[in-house]
Each structure stands twice: as structure tokens, then as C-alpha cells.
Amino acid sequence: MARRNGSIIVLVLVIVAIVTSLVLSIGAILGARIKILNDLTLRGELFHEACSAAALAAWEIYSDTNGVDHVRESWFNGFTIENTDVMIEDAGALLKFPDVDKAVLANLIYSLSHETERMELKDALAEASILLEWWSTTQAAHTNRVLAAVEELKAAPVERPDVLVKILPYLRVHGDEKININSVDREVFAALAGSLGSDAKMAGELFRNLERARGKGEFFKSLDISEIKMLLGGSGVGQSGVLDSVIVEKLSTVFCVESGLFKITATARGGATSATIQCLYERETGRILNWLEF
């Protein structure tokens, strides 16, 4: 009898253990699902907060009527609204694809390839040709479709996809071909100057002059040749003053002094969860383009 009672007790304990395990498992599953639902709900709320912050940034840009002075406006350095950080970049300082000249694109590819394995300039030209021809073929095959975002270029059959990824941050697919001289960076400036006949040393000297002017709070208000020579250094730069003047005059044809296109990135955070929105704001039309969620 005692043995039978012991067996019954053992059986009961086993059943209790199984039931307890099942209850705990079901509880864990339900808890995980509730957490997922809560995270999704929070992410949705953060998404809306990021969108609202991006729209507010677009309004700040629209409201700024100072034109070329936008590089000195507080909003251009970004801002924070409660738990949302907003960053604004001047997309007008980037090269327009596919309108960019092949030589300019090749110079950019050549310059950025040094971070991994340096390419020959002829190979960089070949890569630029592949990109432009691939897009031209794709565009024709899809009834003159347009690029929605530079990320689409990752599908191009280039020889060096590692370098392609590096040039994408310097490209845009919206706006006109002009580049804002007041916010252009070193890589884009060097690519432009190199395509116009400047060597790396001269391009570097010209850009350093531009940086010094910016450091003094001096920005271009026009593309008058005399103003360009004054801020870039003009004939006072390099070994050949005549060549420098020619390059400076050529540069005046590819630049503008005011941007109409801005990249807005808004990231809203709540605990360990975040939502990031990126879009382009076109000031002339007042449109917000290419909403992307990360």
C-alpha cells in the first residue's frame, strides 16, 4: 500500500511539473507577444513623432528667407524636440546623378578608392561609364523611369562595389545640376576642380582658401568672378596664375550660392526603441520627397 501511495505521489508530482512547465511556457510566449505588440505600438508612436519633427524642420527651412545665409542659421546645425533629434544636410552640395559629368564622377571614384585599394584613373573612368550606361539602359527599358534614390545604384554591375557604396553619400537624384559653393565639401569640390583641369595640389589650395573664408564668416552672395577670385584666392593660388584664373572661371559655371534641396533625418527614441525617418525637402516647390524609414 505504501509503495502504491508513493507511486501516486510521484505521478502527481510529474503531472504538476508538466502543467507548471506548460503554464510557464505559455506565459513566456504570451509575455513575448505582448512585448512585441508593445514595441510595435511604441515604434509606431515614435514613427509619428519623427515624421512630425521632420515636417517641422521643413517648415523652418521654408520660413528662412535669408537665402545664402542659411549656412549660418541655427536650424542648419540640427535641433532636438523632446526625445527626437533632427539633423539637416544641404543636399544641394551633392553631385546630381545621372546629370553629373563622367569625368567628375570618375574623379570622385578615384579619390574615394584610396580608402581600400587605390584605382587607376582609367579604371575609375570605366566604373563611371558602367554606372552611367547601366542607368541609361535601365531608364530606356522602363519607359524613361527616374531614380527614386541613389541606393538604387547598388544594383549596377560595377567592378568595385565597395567603392560604389562610398560614393553614394556624395550623390543625389533630385534638384538641378548646380552645386552650392557655400556648403560643398572637399571631395565634391576636388572632383569638380579635377575635371576642369586642376591637379590635386591646386584643388586642395583652392578649397583651403574656401574653408578659410568660411571660417571668417565670409560666404558667397553671388558668383561674380571678382568675388570668386577673392574668396577662392583666384590668380594668387598655385604655380600658374593664368591657369588658376581659367579654372576659377570654369568653376563659376557649375556652382550656385543658394540651395533648394535639403536632406532631413529625424530620430525619435523611447527606451531601447527608436524610429528614424529620412526625407528630402524641396524648398522651391514646398514638397517633401522620398520618405524612408529605418
pLDDT at 235 over 70: no
Whether pTM exceeds 0.85 = no
pLDDT digit string (tens) for 203-230?
A: 888 888 888 888 888 888 887 777 777 7
Where are the alpha helices (H) located in the chain, listed in sequence order?
Answer: 2-63, 102-112, 121-141, 161-167, 186-195, 200-215, 225-232, 241-251
Q: Which three cell numbers stand for residue 204?
A: 586642395
- The helix (run of H) or strand (run of E) holding residue 99 is none
Q: Give the domain ranges of the chain.
A: 1-94+260-294, 95-175+186-205+225-251
Q: What pLDDT sits at residue 35?
A: 55
pLDDT digit string (tens) for 14-65?
A: 565 666 666 566 655 655 555 555 565 767 788 888 888 888 888 888 877 5
Q: How many CA atoms lie within 13 A of 1 on its CB side?
A: 0
